[in-house]
Structure formats: C-alpha cells, structure tokens
Amino acid sequence: MKNKFFTIGIFVITAVVVVFYPYFQKTAGATINVNLNDRPKIQLAILLDTSSSMNGLLDQTRNQLWQIVNEFSKAEQNGLKPTLEVAVYEYGNNRLSASNGYIRKVTGLTGELDEVSEALFSLTTSGGNEYCGYVIKTAVADLPWSNSDGDIKAIFIAGNEPFTQGPILYKNAIVMAKQKGITVNTIHAGNLQQGANSGWKDGAFLAGGEFMSIDHNHKIAHFNAPQDKQIAKLNEELNKTYIPYGAKGRVKSQRQKVQDDKSKSISSGLLSKRVEAKVSSMYDNSNWDLVDAVSTGKADLDKLNENELSEDLRELPKSKRKDFIQNKAQERIKIKEEIIKLTSKRNKYVAEKKQEMGAPSPATVNEAVSLAIQKQGAAKNYTFKK
C-alpha cells in the first residue's frame, strides 16, 4: 500500500512540474531561485578597430547593441534561456601602448550589459596600427572562456586594414582560438572584395567562422513610434524596482540611468530598443541589484552586512526586508508585462514602416553578429524564435 501511494505521489509531483514549468521559466527572473550557472551561455568578445577611420563603426555598434541583445533574447537551448556575456577590446589606436600591440581590454566578459554600453560610449578614434592577430590572441588568452562544448563562444573582430599586420600571425592566433572551441568571425568595414583580398576572408575560413562585409559609415535609422512615450515612462518606473547592494551598488545603479540617457539622447526609438532588452532574460544585474540577486540565489539577504544594504533597506526592520524585496519583484513583473505588450506593438509598427519604405538597408554590425550567432548556435542545438 505504501509503495502504491509513493508511486502516485511521484506521478502527481511530476505532473505539476510539467504543467507549471513554462510559467516558472517565464517568471524566473523575479520570482524563483534560478542558478545562472545551470543556464547555457553565449559569450562574445567584440574587437573593434578604433583607428582614425572607424568612427562610423563605433557609432553603429553603440546604436545596435540593444538590437543585438534583443535578437539573442529569442534564443533557447533545450528549453533553457541562455545568459549573455560580452567583452569589448579596442585595437589600432595610437593612444594605446605600443608595447601591448596598441590593444586595450575595455571590459572583460560580463553579463552587466550597462557596463558594455558604457564601454562602447567611452571609445574614441586615433591613428592606426591594426594588429588583428595580436588582439585575437590577447582575447583568447585573457578572457575566462567557458569549458562547455554546448556554450556559444565567439569572437567578432571588425576593422578595415589588412588582416595580416602585426607581430603575431593571425593563423597562430586562430589555432589558439580553435583549441578552446572559440569561433572567430571577421567583419570587414568596407568593400567585400577588398576584405577578401586583405586576409579577412581567409581568417574567418580558417577559424570556421563567418566573413562579412558591412557599410560601417551607414547611419542607423531609429524609427520613432507611438508607443515610445509610454515605454519611456514605464522604464522610469522599472528603474525604481532596483535595490542596489554591495560596495558598487549605488554606482552601478547610477550607471543604469546614465545609459538610459545615452540612448534617449540619440532617439526615443533607441531608448525603446534598450528598454525591450532590459525586460529580457539577458539583462541580469544580480551583482548589484538585490531583486535579481535574491531570485537567482546569488545573494542571501540574511548574510549581507548592514553596510552592504541601501539606506532605504537599512531603515526597515529586518523582519520586513524580505517582503520589501518581494514586493519590488512583483512590481517589476507587472511593469515588464506592460512593456512587453507595448514593445510587441511597437515592433509590428516599425516592421510595417520599413516595409512601406521598400529599399533594404545595407548590412551593418547587427546583421553581421546576429546571423553568425544564429548559424553557429544551430550546431549547438540553439533555436532562435522569430
């Protein structure tokens, strides 16, 4: 009899998990503990030529970061949403040290996408000694790449000078990348044939990656839509649900607002794209926000020191702090749901406007990165919803 009831109990538990698992997945960012280490990863290192002729390339990358994130937010592997980590290097800038090959790591692999945005806006151009092999080798050796064969590990190097320059042979650097399971993709900023003739195509071929040519001087058009004003208001409410903690919590909270302002200063359309990314599973701030940290198990409120908490939280009795965080989490869910509805309507509106315009735009950074990752992800059982 006991065995019979035990079997029935297991059956019921299994049924509940199967039925409610999609709901758990949907609300995982704010309501239940999710171990980020259990999720698959997309790791990208973006290596940008910041020599004098590359202002257009930098502008495109800044303008399209959030669109790229939104494309990746549609990804799944075996039903799990991946995390996204991005690193940024600049190379070919004569303001940088010659002893380091005119290379600088602007940010290491990080899931804090506001840090990536901040890094991109900090870049300026100057001079030009572009050592592609050197910067690829540096990114391969310096970054903490995943050891899992199921994770996407990709380098995107963009520039317009010959791929063969510098003291490190690009072929040797690519061998190092392949040994770690890292795919190197090359983006030539300029004419397709010129890129093929100057080593960019060969570099991608040897690395098993994609060779792409883009019009780096093409100005990105951000469509304004009727939903933008309401999305901006909801974004302000969304920011109020973040609870900074730790030594750098307040600074990183301020950075979030600064990056909102950076996007808004370019256009309301770009801010809407950024807000769409902020409500996706890719936007994780568990290193400084207690709502994300508690829900993912990254921080235990009971084990944090008083000086690690925000002033608002310190003023509350200990017995009420968990309720305060949970209320913020629930509030965030509601705001996110409203934003998702609006951005869906907005995307439909923009798609219709683009169709009315007819003429296709030239290839840009967004297309180059998104198409390559989708192709390489397919080989690792990733799917990308349309």
| C-alpha span between 186 and 110 (Å, rounded) | 22
Tokens of 82: 């991946």
Question: For the ranges 269-273, 301-305, 332-336, which has the lowest average pLDDT?
Answer: 301-305
Topology classification of domain 36-220+362-384: Rossmann fold (3.40.50)
Each domain of the chain, given as residue ranges in start order, spans 36-220+362-384, 228-357
pLDDT tens sequence across 121-165: 999 999 878 999 999 999 999 999 999 999 999 999 999 999 999
The answer on pLDDT for 24 being more than 70 is no
Degrees to nearest 5, angle at CA 271 with 270 and 277? 95
pLDDT for 376 equals 93
> Which residues have C-beta within 8 Å of that of residue 384, sequence separation ≥ 6?
71, 74, 75, 76, 374, 377
The pTM for the full model equals 0.86
pLDDT tens sequence across 50-84: 998 899 999 999 999 999 999 999 999 999 999 99
CA-to-CA dists, residue 38 to 33, 76, 385, angstroms: 11, 13, 21
The separation between CA 22 and the C-alpha centre of its own chain, rounded to angstroms, equals 23
Residue 241: which of 353, 313, 327 has the closest Cα?
327
The shares of helix, strand and coil residues in the chain, as percent rounded to the nearest 5, are 55, 15, 30
